[in-house]
Amino acid sequence: MKVHFYEKLSRDKIQFILLSIVILAISYFTYFHNYNYPQAVFWDENYHIPAAQKYLNRTFFMYDHPPLGPMLVSLGEHLLHSNNFFNQFNDVYYAKDFPTDFSFAGYRFIPTICAWLLPLVFFFITLNLVDNKIIAFLLSSLVLFDNAMIVHFRAAMLDAPLMLFIALSVLFFC
């Protein structure tokens, strides 16, 4: 007798999987899609991109923030190699003039990945708290559609990895 895949899954598991996919899809379009735009620096990227370049060049420097955040920003540039050179801000703390052909895609990559995954982790947390998939899905829309989070988490800043790690810690202890 042939058993279909969907017959092995219960209705609750199918609903959980579908809601998780919907959250990831919405999160992709709100956080990750065209994450490298605008092609201009904003907020604190002037500080974090030079720090990331110092990590890429293995240059010793003093910095106000713990090292993991700028290391994650530099990891994206290391993985994507979106710029041919990454030492133009090696001797400054605050970057003022970015070249016209400068690409922010690498520096914004890892923070945006963290932002993309955050609503799903928030869904898991709220699901543990309320034990209702629909309510947890609706509560995750607070993270999915928050304009301030969308703007700041798509940048080469430390906020998105920090929030993801905090959410994973909360999920671990739920």
pTM higher than 0.75, yes or no? yes
What pLDDT does residue 11 have? 80
What pLDDT does residue 141 have? 93
CB 50 within 8 A of CB 107: no
What pLDDT does residue 36 have? 83
Which tens digit of pLDDT belongs to each residue from 37-85? Answer: 888 788 877 777 787 877 777 777 777 777 788 888 888 888 887 777 6
Q: 43: closest CA among 156, 162, 146?
A: 156
The answer to which of 8-22, 62-76, 109-123, 139-153 has the lowest mean pLDDT is: 62-76
Secondary structure (3-state) at 45: helix
More confident residue, 169 or 90: 169
Q: 48: closest CA among 109, 110, 107, 116?
A: 107
Confidence band (pLDDT; 50, 70, 90) for 106?
confident
More confident residue, 44 or 14: 14
What pLDDT does residue 1 have? 47
What pLDDT does residue 7 have? 58
Q: How far is CA 125 from the centre of its chain?
A: 18
CB 46 within 8 A of CB 96: yes
Question: CA 135, CA 68: separation in Å to the nearest integer?
Answer: 34
Rounded mean pLDDT, 115-127: 96
Contacts of 118 (CB under 8 A, 6+ apart): 27, 31, 143, 149, 153, 160, 163, 164, 167
Average pLDDT taken over every residue of the chain: 84
Rounded mean pLDDT, 116-135: 95
